[in-house]
Structure 1
Amino acid sequence: MRAFRVSRPNATPELTRIETPEPGPGQIRVAIRACGLNFADLLMIKGTYQDTPEAPFTLGMEVSGVVDSVGPGVEGLRPGDRVAVYAGQGGLADFGVFEATRVVRIPDSMNFEDAAAFQIAHGTSHIALDHRAKMQPGETLLVTGAAGGVGLSAVQIGKLMGATVIAQARGRDKLEVARAAGADHLIDAEEDLRARVLELGGADVVYDAVGGDTWTAAFRACRPEARLLPIGFASGEVPQIPANHLLVKNLTVIGFYIGGYLKFRPDVVRSSFETLIGWITEGRLKPHVSHVLPLERAGEGLGLLRSRKATGKVIITP
């Protein structure tokens, strides 16, 4: 079968042929129909992601497809089932073998592109805003990097949860994408973020995918008792948090990493995915996919993420 592989850290991934794997106990093999790309894939190539597999390995963290084969001990799944899998790796290939515990069945009405697009971005936003920040209807949510895959999902889910959403992104085109996703207020990355947010009354919840100076400005635009979620560091700068400022305004900084929940509270991830699948099939939520490319163009897809030319998700279809 074909697989888009990393042979060693910092090596350019290549499409190559490897043996089709067989499922072991508790595993299933999936004929992959779609795979979502993530910024974490770029970090894995460099070997700097916290869950980077040992090379050589196949890239691709979130997949959808059809169960092709079932290993010993697997119950509730059979060949022909349509599924979504938070795989962690192995998705950029014709077939993949995954732990059955990471699999969620998807309805016939859900297309494979949406099933591969929602898992990490929308799962991260839903669990972060609902389970961790416990955001309430009527609160004000500030989303930075709001046109990226994770940021855009936070805009959508924030609106579904009843928040007033302030979206920050770079350039009019990206801001219009955020507006279409439901943002109530738009702030260009070139503007004074702190001043603009304070003009709008301040933020109750900050969902920051950028870090650096953007985090600092958002931090200073919080209302008392606000909750801040440092989701990512697209700027390349991990912010340092002044604890004395937390005290003055009674702020809470909340750590969250969806991959960690797969290890100690997988039930939280599964419950979130089931909620999100319901919203998608009901037409209340639609993952934004800016590019759909074949497996032969997976490198081009990663380049779109690297250059920040994509909005929402880039999907690869073997």
Structure 2
Amino acid sequence: MQAWQVRQTGEPGEVMRLADVERPVPGDGQVLLKVRAANINFPDALMCRGQYQVRPPMPFTPGVEICGETEDGRRVIANPALPHGGFAEYAVADSAALLPAPESLDDAEAAALHIGYQTGWFGLHRRAHLEAGETLLVHAAAGGVGSAAVQLGKAAGARVIGVVGGADKVAVARELGCDVVVDRRTEDVVAAVKEATGGRGADVVYDPVGGDAYTQSTKVVAFEGRIVVVGFASGTIPNPGLNHALVKNYAILGLHWGLYNTKNPKLVLHCHEQLTELAARGAIKPLISERVALSGAADAVQRVADGVTTGRVTVLPALRNGAGA
């Protein structure tokens, strides 16, 4: 079979190599899956760079989120067991963690429903307890993680303000349903959010960016607001001033979704059931901006790493004619 492999750390476009390898052999409690679609996540790029908290043994195949097919024909969503990741024709995953792929979504959409939407659901509902009528601010609102949070926020009845970078991403954020869109490249984010909220600020801030975005969050979070720290796509990990959180009376909430898989896996299943129901009634639908063939995976991962994509870019091993919309 064909699989992308990483044998040394570096930029994805430089260190990912497509190779002919043997199919992975499932271990105890694992199952072999034919990869129908593999969604690209920012951690895939970080693993290539050697900067992620999980460092699989080399050579490894990136791809942490797939829609796959079991040997008995079931269509499932899974997180592949590294080093046998999803940017390949076959992967392996823990059988106990398989989730049924929603019938309302195609393979690419189903692959993209998992990590980003689970993170959004846990962040907004389990951690921040977002309520209908509240204002939600989402950084990187046109990206894969941000777009999921926007849709989940709207489904929960929140007023959503999206922060993006560039005119093309402004258009995407508006299509996603943001009530207000702020272009950080041409606008003062703090001033724009304060104006949009009548000076009150956002009740919940969803931040997968870190760096300057986090600093902006602390300036626009409302009284008794909650800042959900999801990741650091900017590459800069903030050092929060706890005296500031005390004086302004807001909460800083960390979210590591992966921990729920070991600490409380029943909640992951419950979340998937909620997401499946939302997808069935059309309240959420993963934004797939590109579907690329397996041969285009390295270039696609690099573009996600560079922050020039919108929504989700998904690899389809069965696609043989390059990239498509």
Normalising TM by the smaller chain, what interval?
Answer: over 0.9
2:121 corresponds to: 126
Matched-pair contact (CA < 8 Å) for 1:62–1:88: no
- Give the C-alpha shift of residue 36 in structure 1: 0.3
CA distance in 2, matches of 1:218, 1:177: 22
1:269 corresponds to: 268
% identical equivalent positions? 40
Matched-pair contact (CA < 8 Å) for 1:9–1:46: yes
Give the partner amino acid of 2:206. Y
- Give the C-alpha shift of residue 107 in structure 1: 4.2
CA distance in 2, matches of 1:56, 1:221: 44
1:279 corresponds to: 278
CA distance in 2, matches of 1:258, 1:92: 22
2:188 corresponds to: 192
- Give the C-alpha shift of residue 194 in structure 1: 1.3
Per-residue Cα deviation, 1:277-316 (whole angstroms, up to 9, x for no partner): 2222222211001110011110111122123221010000
CA distance in 1, matches of 2:208, 2:290: 21
Matched-pair contact (CA < 8 Å) for 1:59–1:91: yes
Structure 1 gap ranges (5+) = 69-78
1:105 corresponds to: 100
CA distance in 1, matches of 2:214, 2:102: 39
**Structure 1 residue ranges, 4+ long, deviating more than 6 angstroms after superposition:** none
Q: Residue 115 of structure 1: SS of its match in structure 2?
A: helix
Structure 2 gap ranges (5+) = 318-325
Per-residue Cα deviation, 1:119-151 (whole angstroms, up to 9, x for no partner): 111111111101111111011000111111001
1:71 corresponds to: none
Matched-pair contact (CA < 8 Å) for 2:210–2:236: yes
Correspondence for 1:86 among 67, 79, 82: 79
TM-score by length of 2: 0.91
- Give the C-alpha shift of residue 25 in structure 1: 2.7
Matched-pair contact (CA < 8 Å) for 2:189–2:216: yes
- Give the C-alpha shift of residue 37 in structure 1: 0.4
Aligned positions of 1:1-318 closer than 5 A = 1-10=1-10, 12-68=15-71, 79-87=72-80, 89=82, 90-190=85-185, 191-201=187-197, 202-318=201-317
Q: Residue 57 of structure 1: SS of its match in structure 2?
A: coil
Matched-pair contact (CA < 8 Å) for 2:81–2:93: no
CA distance in 2, matches of 1:155, 1:313: 14
CA-based RMSD of the aligned residues comes to 1.4
Matched-pair contact (CA < 8 Å) for 2:45–2:302: no
Matched-pair contact (CA < 8 Å) for 1:82–1:108: no
CA distance in 2, matches of 1:284, 1:159: 8
Q: Residue 16 of structure 1: SS of its match in structure 2?
A: strand
Q: Residue 129 of structure 2: SS of its match in structure 1?
A: coil
CA distance in 2, matches of 1:109, 1:243: 44
TM-score by length of 1: 0.93
CA distance in 1, matches of 2:46, 2:6: 12
